[in-house]
Amino acid sequence: MLMGQEVQNAVKRKAMVNICERPRKIIHNELAEGDVDKNGRNISLMKDDFNSIQRGVYTACRKLQPRKPRNVHEVHKYMEMVNIKNLDVLLNDSQQNIIILSSAENLRALCEQTTTIYIDGTFKQSTKYFTQFFTIHGLINRYYH
C-alpha cells in the first residue's frame, strides 16, 4: 500500500468518527503527528497527494450526511424527520413556509425567567428558500438567551 493511501485511510477513519471536525483540520493534524508512518518510513506527500486525500475525506463525510435539499418542499420534508438533541420543531408549516425551532429549556426560560424580550428579524441573512430569519431573545441575569 502506498504511503499516501495509508494516510488517506487513517484520515478517513478519523473523519468518520469526528464528523463535526473540519476535514482539512483532521488532515493537518494527521500530518502534524509526525512525518513517519507506523513502519518508520518517512512520509512526504506531494500537493496532488494532499488534494486526493482531501477529496477522499470530503466524499466519506458527505456519505454520512443527508444530501442538501434542492427545493423548499424537501426542506420541510427533512424538518419532519429531524432529530436534533435538545431541539424541538415547534412548527413546520409548508403552506405558509414557516419553520420554528426551539428547545423546551429555552421556552421555559423565556416564559418564566425573562422580564425583557427582544425580537429581531432580518431579510439579508435568511437562507436560500426563506424570506426572513426571525429571532426572539430574552434578557436573563444581564445575558441574552
Confidence grade of residue 127 (pLDDT, cut at 50, 70, 90): confident
Predicted pLDDT at 1? 42
Q: How many CA atoms lie within 13 A of 34 on its CB side?
A: 7
pTM comes to 0.56
Residue 139 scores a pLDDT above 50: yes
Instruction: Report angle CA 130, 134, 135 to the nearest 5 degrees.
Output: 145
For the segment 43-74, what is each residue's pLDDT rounded down to a tens digit?
A: 566 666 777 888 888 888 778 777 888 999 99
Alpha-carbon span 52 to 46, nearest angstrom: 10
Share of the chain above pLDDT 90, in %: 15
Q: Which residues are registered as beta bridge partners of 89? A: 101
Among 58-72, 91-105, 119-133, name the one with the lowest average pLDDT.
58-72
Q: Which residue has the cell 512520509?
A: 43
Predicted pLDDT at 135? 92
Average pLDDT of the chain to the nearest whole number: 80
Any idea where the domains of the chain sit in the sequence?
Answer: 3-64, 72-144
Q: Which residue has the cell 435568511?
A: 126
